[in-house]
A = this chain, B = another copy of it.
Amino acid sequence: MGNQPGSGETLYLGIDGGGTKCRAVLLNADNQVLGVGNGGPSNPYHGVARALESIVNASDNALRNAGLTAQDKSRVVAGLGLAGVNLPSLFQVVEQWEHPYKAQYLTTDLHIACIAAHEQDNGAVIVSGTGSCGFAYVDGKSLTLGAHGFPCGDVGSGAWMGLECVKAVLLDSDELGPATAMTELVAEQLQARGIMIVERLNGAKSSDYAKLAPLVFAAAEQGDTVALNIVHTGAEYLNQVARKLWALNPPRMAMLGGVSTRIVDWMDQDLAARMSEPLNQPEFGAAHFARSRFNAEQVAAAP
């Protein structure tokens, strides 16, 4: 990329690390983009070593893209927003990693997504993608709702909808639950019925269940009672999440994730109408987070 940074200047690296990939952006002190880079899966819940490797790859790629070398890491202040580090033990492992940067600041993927969505510290986000959760940060106070993962939580997410769909279709196949249009839709998508669905889903991950979410929406739009019940239950959970987050008075709220654009239409009209568009990508939120934490420490350390 264009702007060649001065050789001693502090640089800010933002990392957005999730279950399938890792994005990095490198900014200079003036907030100009020097380089971007990608890496592999980086949720430490699914393997700490692999996550750290992906993070290093993404940051090396961003440095290379900026025309810099690995040696320049020593003037990089890194902000890491990672899935999984809402679990205290994983936060601790990544926090204590012998990182190659000048400084490293760690938080959740949710937190940096929120900063990026609103281009300011204060705000709230609701994620409905493979998983689901809510997050608000207002004047130093934060609240996380959900983020409990599959299969224990994540109501209103793609994986949750897919699992509820499979449960309903299996009950239908045994004639122990109401008939549902999802039975034919699942048969088409998975080429399987009844017990063969279980076979097809042997070892399935949450992202595999999430692939069934579009057919739940399709069946609901056709008026299928069982699918409507799933979509309404998911949307009602997200309504409750939104109301709890608004109670903290964030200046803005945005919905993120692949399922959000569809499920928002099933949420309460007053809540849906108040959602703002996310302004920026999460990795920029991570760089912002790194900069503001680093500056605060510099101020605190000043004589």
Contact = CB atoms under 8 A, between A and B. Distances in A.
A55 B237 CA distance: 47
A70 interface: no
A149 interface: yes
B89 A175 contact: no
The count of identical subunits is 2
Nearest to A243: B176
A159 to B, nearest CB: 11
A198 interface: yes
Given A195-B87, A199-B88, A148 B170 contact: yes
B152 A195 contact: no
Interface in A167-193: 167, 170, 174-176
- Quick one: which of A144, A146, A198 has the most chain B CB within 10 A? A198
A147 B167 CA distance: 12
A246 interface: no
**The 9 residue pairs across chains A and B that have the minimum distance between CB atoms:** A151-B151, A87-B199, A148-B170, A145-B174, A152-B166, A148-B198, A176-B240, A153-B170, A149-B198
A10 interface: no
A65 interface: no
A152 B167 contact: yes
Interface of A: 45, 86-89, 144-149, 151-153, 163, 166-167, 170, 174-176, 195-199, 201-202, 237, 240-241, 244
A271 B45 CA distance: 45
- Quick one: which of A88, A144, A148, A201 has the most chain B CB within 10 A? A148
7 contacts: A86-B195, A146-B174, A146-B176, A148-B195, A151-B163, A152-B163, A152-B198
Contact of A87 (B148, B153, B175, B198): B198
Contacts of A237: 176
A147 B198 CA distance: 9
Given A146-B174, A240-B176, A167 B195 contact: no
A174 B151 CA distance: 17
Contact of A176 (B149, B174, B195, B241): B241
B175 A244 contact: yes
Contacts of A201: 152
Contacts of A86: 195
Given A88-B196, A145-B174, A176-B241, 20 more contacts: A87-B198, A87-B199, A87-B202, A88-B199, A89-B199, A144-B195, A145-B176, A146-B174, A146-B176, A148-B170, A148-B198, A149-B198, A151-B151, A152-B167, A152-B198, A152-B201, A175-B244, A176-B237, A176-B240, A176-B244
A241 B174 CA distance: 9
Contacts of A174: 145-146, 244
